[in-house]
Amino acid sequence: MTAHATQAVLDRAAAGGRITPEEALDLYRSAPLHALGTAADAVRRRRYAGTEHIATYIIERNINYTNVCVTACRFCAFYAAPKDTAKGWTRDLDDILRRCAETVELGGTQIMFQGGHHPDYGVEYYEKHFAAIKKAFPELVIHSLGASEVEHMARISDVSVEEAIRRIHAAGLDSFAGAGAELLPARPRKAIAPLKESGERWLEIMEIAHSLGVESTSTMLMGTGETNAERIEHLRMIRDVQDRTGGFRAFIPYTYQPENNHLKGQTQATVFEYLRMIAIARLFLDNVAHIQGSWLTVGKEAGQLSLHYGADDLGSVMLEENVVSSAGAKHRSNRMELLHLIRTAGRVPAQRATTYEHLVVHDDPANDPVDDHVVSHLSSTAIDSGKAHPELKLIDAS
C-alpha cells in the first residue's frame, strides 16, 4: 500500500468508515505509528463526543478459586495438574466471601471469579458460589469466567452449554469476562492451548450467551508466536460475531508473560506492537464500544500511551491477581497512581461500573480519594479497622 493509499484508508476509518481485514493488516504492518494513533484517537473522540476528555478505570478483585486444571495451556504458569497435590489448591467458600467483603470495603464494584478447569467442578459448583456471593453482597457485579469454563462445566455436569449459561446466570453471574480467547485462529490456538475448544467454538458459546442476555468482553493474548495476519484474523472473527449479537462490550489485548511456563519466553510482543494493536482494534472494531489499555502486562507508561492510541479505559485497580503474575507480570499500581497516569495523559479520570457508566468523575484533584489501601495485588483479607472484618488487621501489601 502506497503512502497515499495508507492515508486514505486511515482517513476513511477516522471518519467512521469500515475497513477490511486486508486493509487492517496493511495498516498494522506499515502505517506510520503516529498517523495510526491519530486516526484511532479520532475514532475515540467521535464515539465519545461530549465525554472524550474522560478515561475510565474500575476497582475489582480477581478471585482465583482454584489452580487445579486439566487444560495445561503452554503459556500458563498458574495451573497445577489434578494429581499434583503438593501444588494444587482450592479456596473454600468462607475464604471467597471474606475476599468479597474486603472488595466492598475498598470500594470495589466487580468480582472476576476465575480459576482452573477443575475435573470435579460442574455447573453446580458455580451455582452454589455465585448464589452465595450475591446473597451476601448483592452490590457486587460478578463479571467472570468465559467460554472455556462454560464448555468445561457443561461437560462435567452433562448438560448443554445453553443450560449451563442459564443456570449460572440465574444464580448470579452478570456477564462473562471473555477469558480463554487467547488466539482464536486455529494454528496459534492449537500451538499454545491444544486441549481447549476451538476459536470457532469459543465464539459460538459467546454468541449463545449474548442471545441469552449475558454480555461479555473480548480479549487477545499477544506474543506467543502468532503472525500479524493471525492477529488481524482474531479481530475479524470477533467483529463478525459482534455484527450479529452486539454482545461484546469491550476488546482488551494483553501481552504474553514469559516466566515459569512451557513457552519459556520464545517470543513476546513489543510495546510498539501492542500500541499498534490498540490503534488497529479501535479502527477495525467499529462495532465494539470500548478499547481497554492493559498496564498490568505492558507497564504503566505503555498503558498511559494507549490512551492516545484509541483506548478509552485504563483497566483496573485489581485488588488481587495471580494468573499473569505467576508468569512474570510485575507491574503494580494503586488508585492514586492510576488517577495520576490518566491526568498526565491529558484526560479526566472516572471510576466506572462494569457496564461503563461513570460512578465518580474525578474532575477536581482536591477531592481525590486518599485511601492508600486501594492498591493492586493486595493479598490480605484483613482491612485494618474495616467494617467487614473489624477483628482483623491489614497485612502489608509488600
CATH number (domain holding residue 346): 3.20.20.70
Domain encompassing residue 181:
55-367
Is residue 47 assigned to a domain? no
Is residue 204 assigned to a domain? yes
Is residue 210 assigned to a domain? yes
- 130 among annotated binding-site residues: no
Nearest C-alpha neighbor of 323 from the set 78, 22, 133, 136: 78
Question: Which of 109-123, 211-225, 361-375 is the least confident region?
Answer: 361-375
Q: How many angstroms separate the CA atoms of 280 and 31, rounded?
A: 10
Question: Which of 4-8, 295-299, 351-355 is the least confident region?
Answer: 295-299
Is residue 375 assigned to a domain? no
Nine cell digits for residue 9: 484508508
Side chain identity at residue 194, one-letter code: P
Residue 221: pLDDT above 50?
A: yes
Is residue 233 assigned to a domain? yes
Q: Tell me the pLDDT tens digit for each residue of 8-32.
A: 999 999 999 999 999 999 999 999 9
pTM score, two decimals?
0.87
For residue 80, what is the DSSP state?
B
- 316 among annotated binding-site residues: yes
Torsion of CA 24, 25, 26, 28, to 10 degrees: 80
Is residue 394 assigned to a domain? no
59 SS3 class: strand
Who contacts 322 (Cβ-Cβ below 8 Å, separation ≥6)?
Answer: 62, 64, 67, 78
Alpha-carbon distances, residue 351 vs 52, 90, 363 (angstroms): 15, 32, 11
Beta strands in the chain (DSSP E): 54-64, 110-114, 141-146, 175-179, 216-222, 248-255, 290-291, 313-318, 348-352, 358-361
Average pLDDT over every residue of 59-68: 88
- 100 among annotated binding-site residues: no
Is residue 392 assigned to a domain? no
- 137 among annotated binding-site residues: no
Tell me the helices (H) and strands (E) count for the chain, helix number first: 15, 10
Who contacts 309 (Cβ-Cβ below 8 Å, separation ≥6)?
Answer: 36, 37, 40, 41, 275, 276, 278, 279, 282
- 75 among annotated binding-site residues: yes
Farthest-apart Cα atoms in the chain, separation: 67
Q: How many domains is the chain partitioned into structurally?
A: 1
Average pLDDT over every residue of 288-314: 91
